[in-house]
Structure 1
Amino acid sequence: MTGFDAPASGWLLKRCPVLGDVWRRHWCVLGFDEEEDTWVLDCHAEKSRKLVYHIPLGMGARVLTKQWPTALAKHQQQRPCSFLLDSGEGRLCPFFLFDAVSQDSLSTWQGALSTCARELRRRLQTEEEKNRTELIAAIFSALDQEGQGKLWSVEFRRYAESLGFAGSDAEWNGEFNEICEDRGWKEDSSITLKHFTKFVSKDEKMEKEHLQEVLEGLKGERELPVSDAWARQSVASNLVKLKSRSDIITAMFNCLQNVDTGRIGCSELRRYAVLSGFEGDADEWAEEYEDLCADQGWSKDTGISRLEFAGLMKDEQMGSDEELKAILMELRMSPKKRRTFDQMSQLAGKTASRNRVDVTELDRSALVAEAFRCLDVRRKELLTSREFRRYAELTGYDEGEEFWEEQYEELCQEYGWTPEVGVGLREFEEPWRGKGAQDGAPTQKLPDQPKNSGFMLARAWHC
């Protein structure tokens, strides 16, 4: 070990774990063990100087002076100069109790052990990151069978399938387009090692061992592991997992920001404005944008920062969480699939112009159809399990993602729906029938709608 020097040595009292409250005096030496490649604390018997305890520090090692386990707290009160060494990973019982006798000795040992633990943690993390980066590069090479130094959609799909993607060609094209939009990649361009490394590294839950299994599977050295890890990388799946408004706003900023400046300028913000109801032309928007910047104290030339955008969007008058999610889904669509500004303006304008008075005048059948239209964010005239779950959560379902698929399958069995196909308007109307509800019957009073809200959901999950 070179370039680092934080050893310590001296007398310490160590509590004997077998004899209870018996403390024995040891000559203790903190140093680096080259063979074990870590810092170790060796404790020698007072008279014979025989090595009694050999304590290697592992990942997560630390010195505890305040928050002791309850079972050991009494010793801390009895011996004010004592400290508890948590040796970290690698031991069933990692705690070792010492008494430094004096405050000066306590400070010395605390400082030395803490410094060594931090150095070890940094070194192990660096090695882990290096190994992980090398593994990702090896996976990239295994996918890049022609050795071109780049991946196309078909090669990238092999990686997705190794993590659990099992969709059709059409579903993969949609998934790949959403990833490109989300990451700022060009659909007709290749994926570089830098792009691939950044993409894989974003999944912090992907362990090194799993990456190793994927690599071996791609090389044909073993069967590919059964995995659902792709769901963590999928743009569509992650959209559903956005829990807080802050998460949604951050994702929106990432979609809207200019890749060169890292800010949202006039043209970028117009994408959001059109989706939320703005119907004017380019000149009218430029004037609107200038007024907005002046009102908020922003520089119209510099653009809007992440913090400024978050401050603007935290006001629910800018749209409900569910409305922002729907806009985010639109922002993440492939440019080929995305509606033109004029089409979106027309749709959003109709939605924005509707108010609560209009909704209360709808009969029950029309209200159900309106709720269905609002839930159908993909505009496929079919609700997927994910879209139907939005309705369930807004109307009382609160058991989370874990139990939803089971609940959804039970609903499909009860009403004769096909889960793989989805729920059409006719199927969506089924739960409303036979419950004493007739067309023309008074509808439930809907909650107050935020300004420009396009979501008017009937809350009848428990009807």
Structure 2
Amino acid sequence: MPAVGDAVVVQGLPACQGFNGRRGRVEQASGETYQVRLSGGLRVQVLASNLSAAEVPYGDGSAADSTDSTDTSDEEETSETRRRSLVTDFFALLDPAGKKMLRGPEMYHLAKACGFQDGREEWDDEYEALCKLCHVSDGFCLEDFEKLLSDQDLPTFCATSEIPWLMEQSAKSLLPAARNSLTSTSTEVKRKSRRRSSTKSSTKRGSRGRARFSRQEKVRKTIQESQDRRDAIGFLFHTLDADGDQRLNLPELERFASMCGFSGEWQTEYEVMCEVLKIPSSKGVDFLQFNRLVSDEKSNAYCSDEELQQMVMYLKSERREIASRLAAIRIQAGARGFLTRSQARRSALEVPSLSSTAGRDSDDSHAISFCWKSV
């Protein structure tokens, strides 16, 4: 059993295979659960069965940790670059006029995407409170907007996987307005270009229009790419939710874990997961928590798009197999019912013939008796 401070290697994680083979040191131990600090600073909670002692050929292992740290930094840099790109695209989507500043009207669309259900008047008060919370006075620039979505201490924090979904919700009301704004801008450019003879000015305006149009197309592409993933997550959640209470409890999530390849003690793993999500283990996870669980790249339950599609295909094939079995059972039951009804009808037809014969025998006996008495 590893002890606190031991160098270990993470292995056998089915839901987040990217962590397998990573080196780290044990920081805390609680029964069978260990908190390991991986090289690069990332902390994960794993079971003892997912840890093995690390061979350290160079004294304190600084050289090996240096190599792992380089790999980790590359992975984190790629993830941060992708998030920064998504945030920039999201900001551009909310700022179709290109003012480089998001104020109350623009942020209202973000609030609606996040579930805000009240009107604009109520939002004005919420917006003022949000500005005070984020220490801004004249709206949110790109840097402030990035902090708004990335600071985990703020209630507006969004995981990287949630940003495309928020973009899609905002785009439902913003993209038509953005297209109209782009059309009017192009018309204005053409009108001014007729008044002016400067080719250079019209070229600059045209390039700005093309750049803005390109950004909007990029936003649409990002939204489209996230559609299949969200559909797959929704299908998994509702299929696993056997009791239909809109939450996944211990046995329902155990089925998901088994599809991920998990074969350990699920009770302990489930309790650790609920502790990380800060929810009661008896309550289970709702859809948003499940979505965050499978979409957060730092989560042990993270699933790639390909893995999600494979699970969907497996569950659909399982459904078809069950449906075919039920159809066979219904056919057999129908055939047996038909035979039973046929036998019942034949029996019903035979009974009257016997009774009629018995009646005739009875009449004959009376006739014989009468004749005997007459004689």
TM over 0.5: no
Higher relative contact order (CA 8 A, sep 6+): 2
| Structure with the higher fraction of residues in helix conformation | 2
TM-score normalised over the length of structure 1: 0.27
- Max radius of gyration: which structure? 2
